[in-house]
Amino acid sequence: MSKILSVSEITTAIKEILEVSFEEISVVGEISNFKAHVSGHWYFTLKDSNAQINCTMWRGLNSYVFFTPQDGMKVIVNGKISVYPPRGSYQIDVRSMKPAGEGELQAAFERLKKKLANEGLFDEQYKKPIPEYPQRIGIVSAIGSAALKDMISVASRRYPLVELVISPSKVQGEGAAEDIVRNLKILNQHKDIDVIIIARGGGSLEDLWAFNEEIVARAIFASLIPVISGVGHEIDFTIADFVADLRAATPSAAMELATPDKDEIFAFITDFSYTSADEMFEKISGNKQNISHLINSYGFRIPQSIIKNKSQFLDNLIYRIQNFIDNKLNLETKRLELLTKSIESNDLNRILMKGYTLVKQGSKFIRRAKQFHPSSAFSIKFYDKEVDIK
Q: Are residues 56 and 144 in the same domain?
A: no
pLDDT at 272 exceeding the cut of 90: no
What is the count of structural domains for the chain? 3
User: Per residue in 31-63, pLDDT tens?
Assistant: 889 998 888 889 999 988 888 899 999 888 887
Q: Are residues 80 and 127 in the same domain?
A: no
pLDDT band at 268 (very low <50, low <70, confident <90, very high): very low
For the chain, what is the HEC assignment?
CCCCCCHHHHHHHHHHHHHHHCCCEEEEEEEEEEEECCCCCEEEEEECCCCEEEEEECCCCHHHCCCCCCCCCEEEEEEEEEEECCCCEEEEEEEEEEECCHHHHHHHHHHHHHHHHHHCCCCHHHCCCCCCCCCEEEEEECCCCHHHHHHHHHHHHHCCCCEEEEEECCCCCCCHHHHHHHHHHHHHCCCCCCEEEEEECCCCCCCCHHHHCHHHHHHHHHCCCCEEEEECCCCCCCHHHHHCCEECCCHHHHHHHHCCCCCCCCCCCCCCCHHHHHHHHHHHHHHHHHHHHHHCCHHHHHHHHHHHHHHHHHHHHHHHHHHHHHHHHHHHHHHHHHHHHHHHHCCHHHHHHCCCCEEEECCEECCCHHHCCCCCCEEEECCCCEEEEC
Report yes or no on 314 lying in a domain: no
For residue 162, give the CATH number of its domain.
3.40.50.10550
Q: Which of 270, 296, 316 is the last residue of a domain?
A: 270
User: Per residue in 140-181, pLDDT tens?
Assistant: 999 988 999 999 999 998 888 899 999 999 888 778 888 999
Q: Are residues 143 and 239 in the same domain?
A: yes
Q: Are residues 204 and 264 in the same domain?
A: yes
Q: Are residues 44 and 137 in the same domain?
A: no
Q: Which of 100, 115, 132 is the last residue of a domain?
A: 100
Q: Are residues 122 and 194 in the same domain?
A: yes
Q: Are residues 38 and 126 in the same domain?
A: no
Q: What is the pLDDT of residue 138?
A: 94
Return the percentage of the chain with pLDDT > 90, whole number: 25
User: Per residue in 274-329, pLDDT tens?
Assistant: 556 667 777 888 788 778 777 776 666 677 778 888 888 888 889 889 999 989 89
Q: Are residues 73 and 118 in the same domain?
A: no
Q: What is the pLDDT of residue 299?
A: 62
* Domain around 179: 106-270
Q: Which of 236, 270, 304 is the last residue of a domain?
A: 270
Q: Are residues 110 and 243 in the same domain?
A: yes
Report yes or no on 381 lying in a domain: yes
Q: Are residues 71 and 134 in the same domain?
A: no
Q: What is the pLDDT of residue 266?
A: 38
Q: Are residues 15 and 56 in the same domain?
A: yes
